[in-house]
A and B are shown apart, each in its own frame.
Chain A
Amino acid sequence: MSNVLIVGELKNGELKKISKEITSAGRKIADALGGKVTALLIGSGVEKFAGDLGAVGADSIVTVNAGDFNAETWANLVAGVIKDKNPSVVLVPHTSQGKDYSPRVAVKVGAGIIADAVGLSVDGGKVVAKKPIYSGKAYGNFKVTSPIAIFTVRPNSQEVVQKAGAGAAEAASPSAGDAKVKIVSSDLSGGNKVQLAEASIIVSGGRGIKGPENWPVIQGLADVLGAALGASRAAVDAGWISHSHQVGQTGKTVSPNCYIACGISGAIQHLAGMGSSKYIVAINKDGDAPIFKVATYGVVGDLFEVVPALTDEFKKVLG
């Protein structure tokens, strides 16, 4: 028996899409290995999501009542459930939270870990994880040889598939332990309305937007599409927008279904962060800009004319 444990994630008390993505991915693995899928949710009032995860393949849901996220206590809770349930495969979101606690979990349970997987398949009774490496210039396939294998999974990389599991909820209360790091205060006002690293559509601006006063042009399109607002390093380094919006090598790695690059030339460091986007739209005055080499749809034109026209057109069709 090779059972799978997925660790879900919440945002403001709501289930994140990545939780369903990894539940579906876990279902596929468990079906191939002949095992069960258990979904773990940590937080308060998380029982109500049992049905949502059951519908996409979870056989059972383990809920742990806990307060705000702290990497150390979360690592103890997750490791506690792993020790109790003894899964052979554990899937964790490759999100800022997942990156914060998963390293500790791996060491606590003596597991090998492959981070930032975008593909998961089964070969010879073991999961093979595929991940982009060397800034997306190669892909690697890896197996974990320890009895427990942990994979952190990139958001938007796995399909959500409706497939009913039992979804029976059970509460657990592993020891959270004490955290050595205390959270003094949080300021969550500077971020995106839509989370960049997990967004399915991103509209990004670069040097071509000419100045910070022109973000409304880009934000207008993002708002119509329910997209996250991104930026190139040039725009961030010029002080036009905060670093939390930066896409690229020294910013965030993103894999949206659709990436709309406005006035971005496409330096290799930018491509490293967004090159795995499924569809790329480039709007740029310079027809020789490197961004056109990766763009699915290229518009050689002035973003200050094309982007507002695009916003209007989407408003029309999306009502």
Chain B
Amino acid sequence: MKIIVLVKQVPDTETNIKVGDKSINEAGIKWIISPYDEFAIEEGLRLREKNGGEVIAVSLGPDRVQESLRQAYAMGADRAVQIKVDNYVPFDTVLTAELIANFAKAENADIIIGGRQSIDSDSSQVVIQVAEGLGIAHISFAVSLEISGTSVKATKEVEGGTQVVETSLPVAITAQKGLNEPRYPNLKGLMAAKKKPIETKTPADLGNPASKIEVVGLEPPPPRIPGRKLEAADAKGYAEQLVKALREEAKVI
């Protein structure tokens, strides 16, 4: 069973973001694997442990993404592939998906799994676009997954609850929180990961798809409505003030 896990490198949530004209200022940013992709890596490893085969971790971006690939190695991935895109735009989902789909096609992958969304763009697009590009099934927001032979059974989160769905390989999956508890790489794994090879592919190797979006510009978030702490003698006093503020000032209730 050949399993491709998608590993997106994103700024740590706690990192301070400085906005440049068309991208962020990367100086001083701490990079992490997007949290949902950690569920994807873990699921890939569990599927391999149960069914055999190999796990290929793939990340798109400049050379800094090799750090995330080494972390995937340390968790237990068998191969790591960097799709080397130096001026990577993290919001260009169609371009990203086309590169990954072309890679997955060449590898003849059975399973492609990634997080339900990345925490830098929140687009929830790439994995399903890969599925469409390959003409295969997809299951989004998976919270449980069982694969035996070529049959796939999963529980997915839907609005207001869950659904049990069935399909057959090949399949693309987006991982939702609850699917598993990602393992921590141990020290031995981290040391070994430093020596493992990282394969690189260029956009030219993967069909050189064209971008379909233009970044007009980035800006800081809009200023918030200035806040204030209310003062009152007791709970009833607070309640009266809040109701008045929300109904007469904010007019939201």
Contacts and interface: CB of A to CB of B under 8 A. Distances in A.
A1 interface: no
B219 interface: yes
A180 B141 contact: no
Nearest to A226: B253
Name the residue among B91, B245, B252 with the largest chain A CB count within 10 angstroms.
B252
B123 to A, nearest CB: 4
B20 to A, nearest CB: 10
B129 to A, nearest CB: 4
A136 interface: yes
Contact of A297 (B11, B133, B137, B227): B227
A251 B227 contact: no
Given A103-B93, A250-B35, A257-B252, A182 B166 contact: yes
A201 interface: yes
B121 interface: yes
B161 A187 contact: yes
Interface in A247-286: 249-251, 253, 257-258, 268-269, 272, 275, 278-281
B128 A250 contact: no
A80 to B, nearest CB: 15
Contacts of A185: 163-164
Interface residues of A, number: 96
Grouping DSSP codes into helix (H, G, I), strand (E, B) and loop, the B interface class, with mixed when no group exceeds half, is mixed
Nearest to A142: B213
B38 to A, nearest CB: 10
Grouping DSSP codes into helix (H, G, I), strand (E, B) and loop, the A interface class, with mixed when no group exceeds half, is mixed
Given A115-B123, A250-B36, A191 B159 contact: yes
B239 A313 contact: yes
Interface residues of B, number: 82
A134 B24 contact: yes
A103 B125 contact: yes
Given A191-B159, A317-B243, A140 B166 contact: no
B242 A113 contact: no
A138 B219 CA distance: 6
Contacts of B165: 181-184
A207 to B, nearest CB: 18
Contacts of A135: 13, 119-120
Contact of A306 (B14, B157, B225, B239): B239
A118 to B, nearest CB: 10
14 contacts: A103-B93, A106-B94, A113-B93, A116-B124, A137-B16, A181-B137, A183-B164, A195-B159, A250-B177, A279-B250, A280-B227, A310-B238, A314-B243, A318-B253
Interface of B: 11, 13-14, 16-17, 19, 24, 35-36, 91, 93-94, 97, 119-129, 131-133, 136-141, 153, 157-168, 177-178, 211-222, 224-230, 232, 234-236, 238-240, 242-243, 245-247, 250, 252-253
Interface of A: 11, 71-72, 75, 95-97, 99-100, 102-104, 106-108, 111-116, 123, 128, 131-146, 180-192, 195, 197, 200-201, 225, 243-244, 246, 249-251, 253, 257-258, 268-269, 272, 275, 278-281, 287, 292-302, 305-306, 308-310, 312-314, 317-318
